Amino acid sequence: MAEIVAGVRTDLPARMAEVSPAVLRRRAEARGPRMTPDAVGAALRGTHGVRLIAEVKRVSPAMGRLAAIERPEALAAEYVAGGAAAISVLTEPRHFGGSLADLRAVRDSVSVPLLRKDFIVDPYQLAESAAAGADLVLLIVAALSGRQLDGLLKEAAEYGLAVLVETHTEQEVATAVAAGARIIGVNARNLTTLQVDRDTFPRLAAGIPADVVTVAESGVRGPADVGSYAGAGADAVLVGSALVIDDRPADAVAAMLAAGRREEAE
């Protein structure tokens, strides 16, 4: 992850020189009202089963090249047709092949909450996110100091952005809770080895307050894994690679949601 964050910091100055934060703020305001953070949280918490955040992702560090995705907006529309509650768009270019252009294209094609998934380390990226139409941004505890996390959470609130705070350990969950995070993700993938431990979610979710939205991340190979996460108490599951490589993404989303509902019914 350190290499990815270093690349993000390297790329930021050129973008900041090209478009100022003030211009980005005006662009965000020009887009009109965005879904409120409370509404985003409500969209990710259902009463009849797990919700699904479906991801637009061209490259996975663990699996390599996944798909070309020439029209990210078309893939996002398929996800929504299958019942996805939100769409996640990878915008990091060096390692994931994404861009803010992808985010803008998806924003113009769907009305569900839109997550900008990137390695956000600077307030400027929050301005970018709001201007591109994101409702939700990702902050990774492992990539930030406690002071940085607090500052970015406050700045996100000023832009009206909801925040998914990603954790990997019990200590990171405690940090997220102490910072006041309202949506906490538990990533089952070890950032160093890239290996997945699906027992990570139930272990860490025990430390998340009941009124906080919990999101299970990584390790979903198909409907059975979604059902397992739902049974462990996840409000939502973020799924990327398994959907991107499926020839029928709308059907794949629907099957995963059905598995989540069945698990809850049992």
List the beta bridge partners of residue 90: 117
Catalytic one among 60, 73, 88, 117?
Answer: 117
| From 78, 92, 155, 166, active-site residue | 166
**Is there a catalytic annotation at residue 154?**
no
The active-site residue, picked from 60, 218, 228, 241, is 218
Sign of CA pseudo-dihedral 224, 227, 229, 235:
positive
Catalytic residue of the set 60, 88, 129, 187: 187
57 among known catalytic residues:
yes
Residue type, 266: E
Helix axes 123-132, 2-18, angle to 10 degrees: 70
Burial of 70 (0-12, 13-18, 19+ CB in 10 A): exposed
- The answer to whether 166 is a known catalytic residue is yes
* 210 CB-near residues (< 8 Å, 6+ apart): none
Q: Nearest 5 degrees, angle CA 81-CA 262-CA 213?
A: 70
Query: Catalytic pick from 73, 78, 128, 217?
Result: 217
> Which tokens go with 257?
């949601």
Q: Which residues are catalytic?
A: 55, 57, 117, 166, 187, 217-218
